Amino acid sequence: MRRFWLIPIGLVALLVPVVVLAGSGEGGFDGVVSSIESRYHVRATRIPFMGLISMVSRKATHEGVSNVHVAEIESFPDDVDGDELNRMVEEKLGAGWERIIRETSRKGNEQTLIFIHPEGDRMGLFVVDKDGNEMDVVQVSVDPKHLDDDIGHYRHHARDDNDSSESDPGKDESD
């Protein structure tokens, strides 16, 4: 009976290092957002019901878009050192992510980072965009082939140069 109280104490003693290590190794979307919050002393608003929104977007795009994560930081007080932000995001995203766009204004009040990550037939996109006092962090998984098909419906199809249905406005009809 006296040893019974040792079991809960032993379990707690074993779980504390697991929880600490799990929290410190946080990466990906949550790791980037947490690092930004910690470094710049801001609070991110994560969009409520994002799992439901992600599921709806997956169905609406016929598996074209999924795993949507969005965090918004309003009232971002400071300008940002572009090199520091880039290093922080690269570190937290981890291996396999490649930055394809980095745009920084001279004053640091506008920053845009876009990373990609292959996910089999899909492509992961990670965007950090700071514009003035607002910062948005977005992660999404897309099917590039499927999206290309959908985007094709909205392309502007130029008239063929050999199309004789309309006369060329720059050409004299008497020639």
Q: For residue 131, what pLDDT is reported?
A: 92
Contact (CB, 8 A) for 35 and 88: yes
In the predicted structure, residue 171 carries a pLDDT above the cut 90? no
End-to-end CA distance of the chain: 110
Residue 35 CB-density burial (10 A; 0-12 exposed, 13-18 middle, 19+ buried): middle
Sketch the domain layout of the chain as residue ranges.
27-152
E-state strands within the chain: 45-46, 65-73, 98-104, 110-119, 122-131, 134-142
- Closest by CA position to 140, among listed 53, 81, 78: 53
- Closest by CA position to 116, among listed 136, 144, 88: 144
Mean pLDDT for 151-163 is: 55
Alpha-carbon distance 118 to 142, whole Å?
Answer: 10
What count of other Cβ atoms lies within 10 Å of the Cβ of residue 139? 22
Least confident of 18-27, 47-56, 58-67, 152-161: 18-27
Query: pLDDT tens digits for 121-154?
Result: 889 999 999 998 999 999 998 888 776 665 555 5
Whole-structure pTM value: 0.67
pLDDT, averaged across the chain: 76
- Give the DSSP per-residue string, 53-88: HHHHHHHHTTTSEEEEEEEEE-S--S---HHHHHHH
In the predicted structure, residue 38 carries a pLDDT above the cut 90? yes
What count of other Cβ atoms lies within 10 Å of the Cβ of residue 111? 20
In the predicted structure, residue 88 carries a pLDDT above the cut 90? yes
Pairwise pLDDT comparison (149 vs 72), residue with the higher score: 72
